[in-house]
Copies of this chain bind each other. A is one copy, B any other.
């Protein structure tokens, strides 16, 4: 994360890049009066790309969005929360198509320029009367400022406690390019190719295939490196739209500012992914696991995700217990090569294992670190090679159980 290549825009949002408006409202899908329908609109057809869940059971909106994206263009995204429209058969597909058609009509864009996303309970049909009247009201809610983005961000949340946003700016051939994103997460979070729901906007001029390649690359080291509960959703989708209104020379891998743009783009992905992990269901801590010295990057990634996903490690962090035995047990079951005799582990700055042997450490200091730090960093050095990776997750708490013992009720 080289922050000198780009600037972080505090207070920026998905409407900050040139050409984007957003909005949201409550249409009746959620039992509370919180927003449950949101829209992003670009004033021109945007170059677009998306990645989707690898779950075999893909929700109806994913099918519709894939169709819309065949030509690498999108102009709007319509999204609802409160209902995933997954495992809903032909009626669910028809409903997703109807959402797309209604949004296109109300927003004055082509049907094939609209992406559809849903999140919420699986296996229930959408209340289409709510969706229809909601979509009819959306054009009046569109706003190109922070308010529109705020309403949109509220509309995509389910059990999330806070909205997730990020905005950065980077110079491309002397032109200022803005990249922003919004996401939701919370539960059933173990993304594999995309996260629960993520939306990114930029005004960069970039070819669709380069945008898609960058999206996949950035997703691999950000969204795909978080886990809340090991459960990969049926609805994961990350959509990105580039309006091209920044007027820069076309970006591509050979452009001198490609690395800066890629770093800025990846920063937005990482920031959103970390926000999702930090706001995992019931979480009280963000856990960051940094693995160094693995035989290759894939091995490092497998180990980092295994450690951060271990229920025992997660419970220990919740209990502020410096129980490194659970960390090394997780390292050892990750299914990748590890030399068992030369592992170093540290909690924050406190070494607890050196060359696979316990280090006498100050238990009070470790307790204070685990109790007082919002982010708990676990560093594992395998001294087997140069493979490195970072994964993010959260602790396992009473509230995770409470939230998920009665999600539908």
Residue among A122, A357, A404, A406 with the highest chain B CB neighbour number at 10 A: A404
Q: Are B87 and A353 closer than 8 Å at their CB atoms? A: yes
Is residue A315 contacting chain B, with contact meaning CB distance below 8 A?
A: yes
Smallest Cβ distance from A351 to chain B, in angstroms?
13
Q: A188-B329, A333-B232 are in contact. Are A89 and B357 (CB under 8 A)?
A: yes
Is residue A385 contacting chain B, with contact meaning CB distance below 8 A?
A: no
A192 cross-chain contacts in B, Cβ below 8 A:
333
Smallest Cβ distance from A323 to chain B, in angstroms?
5
Q: Are B404 and A325 closer than 8 Å at their CB atoms? A: no
Q: Are B122 and A87 closer than 8 Å at their CB atoms? A: no
Partner of A56, one of B86, B88, B332, B405: B332
Is residue A121 contacting chain B, with contact meaning CB distance below 8 A?
A: yes
Partner of A331, one of B57, B309, B333: B57
Is residue A138 contacting chain B, with contact meaning CB distance below 8 A?
A: no
A86 cross-chain contacts in B, Cβ below 8 A:
325, 329
Residues in A10-49 with C-beta less than 8 Å from chain B: none
Map CB proximity to B onto A391-409 as digits: 1 under 8 Å, 0 otherwise. 0000011101111111111
Q: A89-B356, A315-B401 are in contact. Are A332 and B57 (CB under 8 A)?
A: yes
Partner of A55, one of B188, B233, B319, B333: B333
What is the size category of the interface that chain A forms with chain B? 35 or more
Is residue A330 contacting chain B, with contact meaning CB distance below 8 A?
A: yes
The closest CB in chain B to the CB of A313 belongs to: B231
Q: Are A57 and B329 closer than 8 Å at their CB atoms? A: yes
Q: Are B407 and A323 closer than 8 Å at their CB atoms? A: yes
The closest CB in chain B to the CB of A310 belongs to: B231
Q: A229-B311, A332-B234, A333-B55 are in contact. Are A188 and B326 (CB under 8 A)?
A: yes
Map CB proximity to B onto A351-363 as digits: 1 under 8 Å, 0 otherwise. 0010011100000
Is residue A256 contacting chain B, with contact meaning CB distance below 8 A?
A: no
A398 CA to B404 CA in the complex, in Å?
A: 11
A38 CA to B333 CA in the complex, in Å?
A: 28
Q: Are B407 and A333 closer than 8 Å at their CB atoms? A: no
The closest CB in chain B to the CB of A91 belongs to: B357
Q: A87-B358, A333-B192 are in contact. Are A401 and B401 (CB under 8 A)?
A: yes
A13 CA to B162 CA in the complex, in Å?
A: 55
A401 cross-chain contacts in B, Cβ below 8 A:
315, 318, 396-398, 400-401
Q: Are A325 and B121 closer than 8 Å at their CB atoms? A: yes
A128 CA to B404 CA in the complex, in Å?
A: 45
Residues in A137-173 with C-beta less than 8 Å from chain B: none
A54 CA to B230 CA in the complex, in Å?
A: 21
A89 cross-chain contacts in B, Cβ below 8 A:
356-357
Interface residues of A (CB under 8 A from B): 54-58, 84, 86-89, 121-124, 187-188, 190, 192, 229-234, 309-312, 315-316, 318-319, 321, 323-326, 328-333, 338, 340, 353, 356-358, 396-398, 400-409
18 A/B residue pairs, CB under 8 Å, sorted by A? A55-B333, A57-B332, A57-B356, A86-B325, A87-B356, A88-B358, A122-B324, A188-B326, A188-B329, A229-B310, A229-B312, A230-B310, A319-B405, A321-B409, A323-B407, A396-B401, A397-B401, A398-B401
User: Which 3 residue pairs spanning A and B have beta carbons closest together?
Assistant: A122-B325, A319-B405, A315-B404
